[in-house]
Each structure stands twice: as structure tokens, then as C-alpha cells.
Amino acid sequence: MNTALASLDVGDLACVRGSRLLFRNLYFKVEPGRALLIEGPNGAGKTSLLRLIAGFLAPAAGTIALHAGGNAVTEAEERGKHIGWFGHQDGLKPQLTAKENLSFFARLYGGNPAYVMPMLDWAGLLRAADFPVQYLSAGQKKRLALARLKLSNRSAWLLDEPFAALDAAGKKLVEQMLAEHCATGGIAVVATHEAISLEASKMTLGGNA
Amino acid sequence: MTALLSRDIRLSFRAGGGAMLALAFFASVAALVPLGIGPDLKLLARIAGGVLWIAASLAALLSLDRLFQADFEDGSLDLIALAPQSLEATAFAKIAAHWLTTGLPLTVLSPLLGLLFGLPPQAYPALMLSLLVGTPAISAIGAVGASLTLSIRRGGLILPLIVLPLLSPAVIFGAGAVLAVLDGLSNGALGLLAAFSLVAVVLAPFACAAGVRLNLAG
């Protein structure tokens, strides 16, 4: 589905939240087809780093350069248009059904609505497709959010704790979709505490950065 | 943009959506006033425009605090902000959805409530027209307030303090348009109301987008 190559180049990045310095002098690169795992204790700034890359937060110092769709994108809001976001909140409307939730995002992101049912099938949610999301379990909601990420057709994925609440099969699903995404030249930055069976670089935030 | 519009409209008619709530609130406030004032038809007819306009403003406020806040709390706003369309277009779609589910139904309901006030027949067109052109301003200005308070818990309590003073021109011109008909005067209030509404609807999406950016970074 996704053919666009992407790469990420972060230089001398610093992040201040409130009046607290989370990290500084952060340099890293994510080459096309690579995944980067971000580890670190709670409060080290993993989520903040993802929000910086997505363009929600402005860095206190440093640069974030994303190459996507054949262009270098530095402007924060432009960068966001290449980001596939998987936050720790599910972003699903409890009153709408699984299918309605997914169809809405497919239309919003200019994706193909014909992929909605196959994606629900992929996530193992075909039988729950017409249930309001409020009746789904935490793991099923995560699966739905994963299906949405796949459907978003973006080349740079940012995932915040994707394994929380997922069962063993769900975890495999994440690893498999990450591997497929990277195989097409996309990149992924994943904040996680868990071991993951995927060829990926690792970076640890916190300590004395 | 149509994706967001149809989704917001659909949500407002589902459980806890608030469209029906606003309508019921509007009707109950407007129905209480004649009961409180007593059967002085002359007085009721004169205050009808003002009361309906105040009731409409308050009813629209009820559902405004969820306009951005609900999406912010469940993380939808992050995903919507990353969508291909600009935040300004997103804000405009949300304002339009809010108006279609509150302002427009209130306008349609208003003649029925006008009956409770013994409003003379010649005043109904002015009442409906004033609500039709004026309620978009309530949605637009309200959305600006909603975007500023979206990350505040119980932000709905601060929202009226920000929004109601800004709505006073709409209430003045809206009620004035109905009064002008009763007094047989030429009606300049409708034009001013339309101008106010137009400016609000054009500028509000930019202010909303700035408010959302500010809060997503917070």
C-alpha cells in the first residue's frame, strides 16, 4: 500500500516541558526501511519526542528533518502530513461502530474506503465491525487503532506503547505490520518497554542525557 | 472536510451528542419565561425576540464545550491535526456541523415558541430570519472559546464567561430586528446582524486553529 520512501534526521534536539529539561543534544537518524525503538524510564520524554517529531511540540533547540515523498520537509505542520500516528490514547469515538470509526479516518486521510473491511478482517474485528466501540475491549480498541494506522497510508510511523493491552497474537500483528511497513521503505519510531522481535535500532532516553 | 462534517453531525445525534439536548433546553427556557412574567400579552410580545435570542445563545453554549474537548480527550484531535486538510478547514467544518445541529434546528423551532409569547404574525419572518443569519455567529464565536478551553477540565464552566460578552452584538441586533417590526420601523438591525455573523464565521476558523495548535503543544 505504501511505496514512499522516508527517512528522518534529527540534530541537536532539546526538549523542555514546563520548566524541566527532558533531553538535549539528541542526534539520531532513521534510514529508509528502518525502525527505531526508544526506551527509557517513565518520564524520560519518549512521548514528548514522538510529539516533537509529529510537529505538535516545538523543540527548544535543534532540527528535525523528514525526507518523504521525495522532498525534505522541515516545517512542522507539513511534516505532520507524512506522519502515521499511533498514540497511547486510542482516538476512537465510543458512540460510533468500529466500521464507522475506520471509515471516517479513511475518508479524512484520503484513503480508500474499500480497504476498511479488509483492514477490520486483518485486525480480527470482522465480527465486531458493527458494535459501538464502547463495547469493545481495550485490546480490541488497540487493534482497531492499528488498522487505522495501516489504512493511513503514511510513510513515517510514530507508535507510542503499541503493545499495551494487546494479547500475544496482537503483539505478533504489530511486529508483522512494522516489518511489512519497513520492507516498503517506510520508517517507524516506536516508544516501548517491551522486547520486540524486529530488526531495529535502539535508543535509550533518560539517565544523564 | 465533508468527512469531518458528517462525522460530527452523526456524533451529535448519538448518545450524549447534545443536539437534542440543546433543542430541549431552548424550548424549556423559552417556555418558562411566559410562565414567570404572567399573561401580559403586550409585554410578552415585546420581549419575545430578546428572550428567544438569549435562550438560543445559552442553548448553543451547552454543546459547545464538547466541540474540541471531546476530540482532545480521546486523542482524536491529534489524528485530525495530522490529516491532509489544514486546521482552519477542520475548524470551519466543526463550526458548520455545530450550526447545522443547533442553530438551524433552533431557528426552525422558534415560531412555535413565538406562539407562547403571543408574537404578532408580521414579526415571525424577522424572528426566523434573525436567528437564521445570526446563529452562525454563536457557533463561530463559541468555537473560538471552545478551542481556547479545550484542555481545561471543566472548561465548560469558563466558556460562557469568554463567549457570552462577545455574543452581545448578535443578541442586540437579533432582538432589535424583531422589535423594529413590532414598532413598524425600518429594519437596519438585520443587515448589521448579517455583517457581524459574516465577519465572525470568516475569522473564527483562524482563531480556532491557533487555539488548537496552542493546546496540542501544551
pLDDT score for A4 = 67
- B71, three cell numbers: 476530540
pLDDT score for A154 = 92
Determine the average pLDDT of the residues in A149-178. Answer: 91
Quick one: closest CA in B to A79, which residue?
Answer: B82
Nearest to B119 by CA among B18, B173, B46, B169: B46
The residues with which A61 forms a beta bridge, in sequence order, are A14
**Å between A91 CA and nearest CA of chain B:** 4
| DSSP assignment of A124-174 | T-GGGTTSBGGGS-HHHHHHHHHHHHHHT--SEEEEESTTTT--HHHHHHH
d(CA A87, CA A160): 5
CB contact under 8 A, A109 and B217: no
CB contact under 8 A, A89 and B216: no
- Does B10 reach chain A within 8 Å, measured CB to CB? yes
Query: Which of B4, B74, B216 minimises the CB distance to A91?
Result: B74
- Cα B98 to its chain centre, rounded Å, is 8
Bigger pLDDT: A152 or B204?
B204
pLDDT score for A207 = 59
Cβ atoms of A86 and A158 within 8 Å: the answer is: yes
pTM of the model: 0.92
CB contact under 8 A, B76 and A108: no
Q: What is the mean pLDDT of chain A?
A: 89
Q: Cell 473564527, residue?
A: B204
Pure H helices in chain B: 2-13, 19-37, 41-64, 66-73, 76-81, 87-98, 104-116, 124-148, 159-182, 189-216
pLDDT in tens, A58-114: 999 999 999 987 788 888 888 999 999 999 899 999 999 999 999 999 999 988 888
What is the predicted ipTM?
0.91
CB contact under 8 A, A95 and B75: no
Would you give per-residue pLDDT tens digits along chain B (218 residues)? 789 999 999 998 887 777 888 999 999 999 999 999 988 989 999 999 999 999 999 998 888 888 999 999 999 999 999 999 999 999 999 999 999 999 999 999 999 999 999 999 999 999 999 999 999 999 999 999 999 999 887 777 889 999 999 999 999 999 999 999 999 887 789 999 999 999 999 999 999 999 999 999 87
Among the ranges given (A2-6, A94-98, A195-199, B78-82), the one the predictor scored with the smallest mean pLDDT: A2-6
d(CA B42, CA A78): 60
CB contact under 8 A, B76 and A93: yes
Q: What is the 3-state secondary structure (H, E, C) of A34-56?
A: CEEEEECCCCCCHHHHHHHHHCC
Nearest to B69 by CA among B140, B159, B147: B147
CB contact under 8 A, A96 and B216: no
Nearest to B63 by CA among B36, B98, B33: B98
Query: Which of A54, A58, A91 minimises the CB distance to B75?
Result: A91
> Residue A206 pLDDT > 90, yes or no?
no
- Does B129 reach chain A within 8 Å, measured CB to CB? no
**Å between B127 CA and nearest CA of chain A:** 35
Domain ranges of chain B: 2-216
> Residue A209 pLDDT > 80, yes or no?
no
CB contact under 8 A, B216 and A56: yes
Residue A207, amino acid: G
B159-182 helix and B189-216 helix, angle to the nearest 10 degrees: 170
CB contact under 8 A, B76 and A92: yes
Chosen from B82, B88, B94 to mutate, greatest number of chain A CBs within 10 A: B82
Strand bridging mode A156-160 / A83-86? parallel
Cβ neighbours of B39 (radius 10 Å)? 9
- Does A85 reach chain B within 8 Å, measured CB to CB? yes
Determine the average pLDDT of the residues in A168-180. Answer: 92
pLDDT score for B39 = 87
